[in-house]
Amino acid sequence: MLIWNFVLMLVWCALFGDFAVKNLVGGFVLGYFVLSLLASRGVVGSPRYVRRVRRIVSFAGFFLTELAIANVRVARDVITPGIRSRPAIVAVPLEDLTDAEVTLLATLVTLTPGTMSLDVSSDRRTLYVHVMDLPGGDASRFVSSLKRGFEARVLEATR
């Protein structure tokens, strides 16, 4: 159904005679709504594509929110006089993830300011993360927030 979504997007742009980014995005969104309506009526495909796109959009929104929050925290730490940060390396136990899911999780952690993925254990059960400021020195709180946030969303978006 992704191909049909792209076809509808291109038809939309061709009707306008303009392949600008705003028309591409608008055509993709319009095509998605048309396909979701048709899938809910059983006319074309299955609703699996519709659910997956919703999960991916939800995941992107979650990541952008976390990115903004992390940027504010790091900026506050940088402009605050004195050194108050408590850096730490935290071992985060992982669920049974595929190589692609571990890579995606480690990349997202690294893209978030204030954290950086250092290593993954050979059995893919532990991700080692450097944290710029571990609030209260409580690694378990950081681990649970990472598992409830990034790891859960990665699993939801990829499965």
How many domains does the chain divide into?
A: 2
Shared domain check, 148 and 93: yes
Rounded to the nearest integer, the mean pLDDT of the chain is 87
Shared domain check, 113 and 136: yes
Shared domain check, 8 and 78: no
pLDDT in tens, 78-95: 888 877 778 899 999 998
pTM of the entire predicted model: 0.74
Shared domain check, 84 and 54: yes
Shared domain check, 98 and 27: no
Shared domain check, 142 and 117: yes
Give 105's pLDDT tier (boundaries 50, 70, 90): very high
Shared domain check, 123 and 92: yes
Shared domain check, 129 and 53: yes
Q: In sequence order, what DSSP letters do the residues of 57-81 get, joined into one string?
A: HHHHHHHHHHHHHHHHHHHHHHHSS
Shared domain check, 140 and 94: yes
Shared domain check, 61 and 101: yes
Residue 98, domain extent: 49-158
Tokens 């792209």 correspond to 6
> For 30-55, b where at least 16 C-beta lie within 10 A, e where not — what string?
ebbeebbeebeeeeeeeeebbebbee
Shared domain check, 104 and 122: yes
pLDDT in tens, 27-48: 988 888 888 888 877 777 777 7
